[in-house]
Amino acid sequence: MSSFSPRMSGRAQHFTSPALASRLDPGYHRSAPAPHDYMADAQIEAQQATAAAASPAPTSGFLNNDLRIGRGRLMLLALLFMLGYLAIGARLVWLTGLDGPQVASVGQTPAAPVHKRADILDRNGAVLAKTLYRPALVAHPRKIRDVDEAFSAIMQVVPDLNPTNLLERLSNTDRVEVQIKRNLTPSQVKQLNSKGIIGLYYPKLPSRHYPNGDLFSHPVGYTDIDTKGLAGMEYIFEGQLSDLAKTVKTSLDVGLQYIVKSELETQMEAFQAKRAAAVLMDVNSGEVLSMVSLPSFDPADPTASSRTARRNSVTQGAIELGSTFKLFTIAAALDRGAITTRDTFDVSKPLHVVDRVINDYHRYTGRMDAKHILQESSNIGAAQIGLQLGGDQLRSFLDDLGMLSISQVEVPEIDTPQFPARMTDVSTATVSYGHGIAVSPLHVAAGVAALANGGIRVEPTLLKASEPSTRPMGPRVLSQETSHIMLDFMRSIVASGTGKKARVESVAIGGKTGTADKYGSDEVVSSFVSVFPIDNPKYVLYVVFDEPKGRADTFNFATGGWVAAPVTCRIINRLISPLGIMPVRNTDDMWQMMQKTADSQDPISNEPASCN
């Protein structure tokens, strides 16, 4: 640096010698510089010629001090710039040349979906949800020449638009692009296009379609306008459907779902229930064949329905489900050896537990064994069995059945089961007949499936099993023997107990009614859980009605036996053939024979099975 400046200035002297300067610049003399300037220049030139060019010394002696400092600092400034620009060069090389073009596509905003969102299929391959590309009407307000012309043309072809809103959008030049309407028909596009309006576009946008309407709204769910999953399996399988573009094969069945839903709807209307839910599950694999929650909603336009309609009553709504729990209490007591089938319990008077009095709907006389406690659905009897078993034992049995943990089913709409933190005598007694514990209907169905399949816990799933399973896979939670006893009990409930109205003409079923008082109101939750065919259990069906109202023809009863049992009968009747269940030829004889063996306290009924 120090050698740079003098050498350069040395060269410069050739041009700045007084003689040359005066020749080059005629104004030189006119501006009358001081004579000694000439001398200085001449001297410098002479000195430069003789002194070593590399030495900085000669110049400094002749320059004024300010210039000398200035030059030095100018070099520092130059160095600073050189370093700065070198850094830019290095960054350029590193960024562009060496770091490579790996993120080359960032700029194509907004990122177009790479894959088309995959379909959701039922167990037989029928489409439950599909993405279709349909033209939308999009306007670029800045390109529209005549807003009025565009406005009237659009209104003519798509008359259902809001005129003020449309006009506002078309004249909003702040925005590059405004969307006017989605899902145009081809003829609408043709009509609009033929009007030749500049600034209107018809990009094909994806939209999600549900060919079965509201049949599968709850389990399948729905997406937002950009086909991003928001609820149900659409939400859970977002990654698989949109990123991998891989179809989801569900365990659901369009035909079965239709039967279950239509029967449920009819009964819900007949009893003016607020809500209703039904789930049909394979007792061995846990596959859910049908999942219905009413009221339903249109998955293509979910916001048109209320939030409560969008609740999935099968997986959500941890509610007290009542007497159905007696099945679990008695199964636990039998399995853990707390009682035998021959033990009897006094059901003749209300049971006092600490400060609580436990009552039955009817007053019975004498003592009852476990089977009759179930047949008559005696709270007093169930509570005694529960207390004999002990709260912790009951709780651990329910836990083994999966009743106390969050369901792993493939929808996001799930609730946490609620149960007493400590099993006091009171809570043990109430949990024994299904109060003071709140789980989803799906939990109950899975629990009953375990009672029915020989004692193996099942995990409910909405995905189709890769291979049909005849044997349940999972941890054993009760013995085969207890399972057999429970099937026999369930059969007797339908044969001559509270579940008589569930008697199906041509297939032997077992089940249990449930009627739970809703806390703080006179309303009830009425349900019926059934297992069929009872001699070789394959399916469990659980039907729940929230706040059904009694009718004249049911003597104002709205219990599980009156509301849920008949619809169970009707549903199973219609399921026999699609499920391929071999019907029993001897219809009513079968039930009468069972009734006799059931040794009911009730008089033998001869009424035929007619699903009333």
Partner 1 sequence: MFSSVSRADDSVLGRWWWSVDRTTLLLVCLLIVIGLFMSITASPAVTQHTSKGMFTFVQKHILFLPLSIGLLLSISVMNVRSVRLLAFFAMAVSLGLLVAVLLVGTELNGSRRWIDFGLFTLQPTELAKPAFAVVSAWLLSRQRSHPETRGALVAFGLYAGIMVLLLLQTDLSQSGLLTTIFFAQLFLLGVSLWWFVVLIPAGLGVAGLAYLTVPYVYQRVNGFFWGGADDKYQVVQSISAFRNGNWFGRGPGEGIQKVALPDAHTDFILAVVGEEFGLFACLVVVCIMLIIIMRGVFRASYARSLFILLAIGGLLTQFGTQAFINMSSTLGMMIPTGMTLPFISYGGSSLIGMGLTVGFLLALSRRGAWENDNRH
Nearest distance from C-beta of residue 143 to partner 1, angstroms: 7
DSSP character string of 41-91: HHHHHHHHHHS-TT-SHHHHHHS-HHHHHHHHHHHHHHHHHHHHHHHHHHH
For residues 37 and 553, which CB has a smaller minimum distance to partner 1 in the complex?
Answer: 37
Q: Which stretch binds partner 1 (CB under 8 A): 83-91, 123-131, 278-286, 409-417?
A: 83-91
Token pair 């859970």: residue: 236
Of 296, 313, 323, 496, catalytic:
323
If binding is defined by CB under 8 A, does position 35 make contact with partner 1?
A: no
If binding is defined by CB under 8 A, does position 88 make contact with partner 1?
A: yes
If binding is defined by CB under 8 A, does position 12 make contact with partner 1?
A: yes
Characterise 258 by phi-psi region: left (phi > 0), alpha (psi -120 to 50), beta (else).
alpha
For residues 74 and 244, which CB has a smaller minimum distance to partner 1 in the complex?
Answer: 74
If binding is defined by CB under 8 A, does position 53 make contact with partner 1?
A: no
Shortest CA distance to 321 belongs to which of 493, 491, 528, 492?
528
Characterise 221 by phi-psi region: left (phi > 0), alpha (psi -120 to 50), beta (else).
left
If binding is defined by CB under 8 A, does position 21 make contact with partner 1?
A: yes
Of residues 159-218, those binding partner 1 (CB under 8 A): 173, 176
Query: How many residues does the structure list for the chain?
Result: 612
Shortest CA distance to 155 belongs to which of 145, 165, 163?
163
Nearest distance from C-beta of residue 21 to partner 1, angstroms: 5
Q: How far apart are CA 567 and CA 572, in angstroms?
A: 8
Q: How far apart are CA 432 and CA 389, in angstroms?
A: 10
Tell me how many degrees the CA angle 245-414-320 measures, rounded to the nearest 5: 155
Nearest distance from C-beta of residue 43 to partner 1, angstroms: 13
If binding is defined by CB under 8 A, does position 57 make contact with partner 1?
A: no
For residues 150 and 259, which CB has a smaller minimum distance to partner 1 in the complex?
Answer: 150
If binding is defined by CB under 8 A, does position 4 make contact with partner 1?
A: yes
DSSP, collapsed to helix, strand or coil, labels residue 517 as strand
Q: Is the separation of the CB atoms in 367 and 417 below 8 Å?
A: no
Neighbours of 361 (CB within 10 A): 14
- Size of the residue set binding partner 1 (CB under 8 A): 58
If binding is defined by CB under 8 A, does position 2 make contact with partner 1?
A: no
If binding is defined by CB under 8 A, does position 519 make contact with partner 1?
A: no
CA distances from 188 to 97, 163, 169, 205, 528 (A): 51, 17, 19, 15, 51
> What type of residue sits at position 338?
A
Q: How far apart are CA 443 and CA 432, in angstroms?
A: 16
Nearest distance from C-beta of residue 165 to partner 1, angstroms: 22
Tell me how many degrees the CA angle 493-494-500 measures, rounded to the nearest 5: 115
Q: Is the separation of the CB atoms in 489 and 368 below 8 Å?
A: no
For residues 23 and 352, which CB has a smaller minimum distance to partner 1 in the complex?
Answer: 23
Q: Which stretch binds partner 1 (CB under 8 A): 80-88, 153-161, 249-257, 474-482?
A: 80-88
Q: Which stretch binds partner 1 (CB under 8 A): 7-15, 114-122, 354-362, 466-474?
A: 7-15
If binding is defined by CB under 8 A, does position 47 make contact with partner 1?
A: no
If binding is defined by CB under 8 A, does position 363 make contact with partner 1?
A: no
* Residues 300-319: x where in contact with partner 1 by CB under 8 A, - otherwise, as a string: --------------------
If binding is defined by CB under 8 A, does position 102 make contact with partner 1?
A: yes
Nearest distance from C-beta of residue 41 to partner 1, angstroms: 8
Q: Which stretch binds partner 1 (CB under 8 A): 71-79, 313-321, 436-444, 488-496?
A: 71-79
Shortest CA distance to 173 belongs to which of 143, 201, 196?
143
Q: In terms of DSSP bridges, do strands 120-121 and 127-135 run parallel, antiparallel, or are they unpaired?
A: antiparallel
Q: Which stretch binds partner 1 (CB under 8 A): 62-70, 115-123, 478-486, 551-559?
A: 62-70
Q: How far apart are CA 530 and CA 539, in angstroms?
A: 8
Cβ burial 481-504 (10 Å sphere, 16+ → b, else e)? ebbebbbbbbbbbbbbbbbbbbbb
* Residues 136-165: x where in contact with partner 1 by CB under 8 A, - otherwise, as a string: ------xx----------------------
Q: How far apart are CA 440 and CA 447, in angstroms?
A: 11
Q: Is the separation of the CB atoms in 541 and 292 below 8 Å?
A: no
Could you tell me which residues come within 8 angstroms of residue 173 by beta carbon, excluding any fewer than 6 positions away?
141, 142
If binding is defined by CB under 8 A, does position 46 make contact with partner 1?
A: no
Q: Which of 39, 43, 89, 484 binds partner 1 (CB under 8 A)?
A: 89
Q: How far apart are CA 101 and CA 96, in angstroms?
A: 7
Of residues 555-574, those binding partner 1 (CB under 8 A): none
For residues 25 and 392, which CB has a smaller minimum distance to partner 1 in the complex?
Answer: 25
Nearest distance from C-beta of residue 91 to partner 1, angstroms: 5
Q: Which of 53, 92, 198, 582 binds partner 1 (CB under 8 A)?
A: 92
If binding is defined by CB under 8 A, does position 580 make contact with partner 1?
A: no
For residues 105 and 586, which CB has a smaller minimum distance to partner 1 in the complex?
Answer: 105
Strand boundaries in 114-244, DSSP class E: 120-121, 127-135, 137-139, 178-181, 200-201, 204-209
For this structure, is 323 an active site residue?
A: yes
Which DSSP category does 100 fall into? -
If binding is defined by CB under 8 A, does position 111 make contact with partner 1?
A: no
If binding is defined by CB under 8 A, does position 337 make contact with partner 1?
A: no
For residues 28 and 133, which CB has a smaller minimum distance to partner 1 in the complex?
Answer: 28
Nearest distance from C-beta of residue 81 to partner 1, angstroms: 5
Nearest distance from C-beta of residue 139 to partner 1, angstroms: 13
What does the binding site for partner 1 look like in residue numbers (CB under 8 A)?
4-5, 8-9, 12, 15-16, 21, 23-28, 31-33, 37, 63-64, 66-67, 69-71, 73-78, 81-82, 84-85, 87-89, 91-93, 95-97, 99-104, 106-109, 142-143, 173, 176
Positions marked catalytic? 323
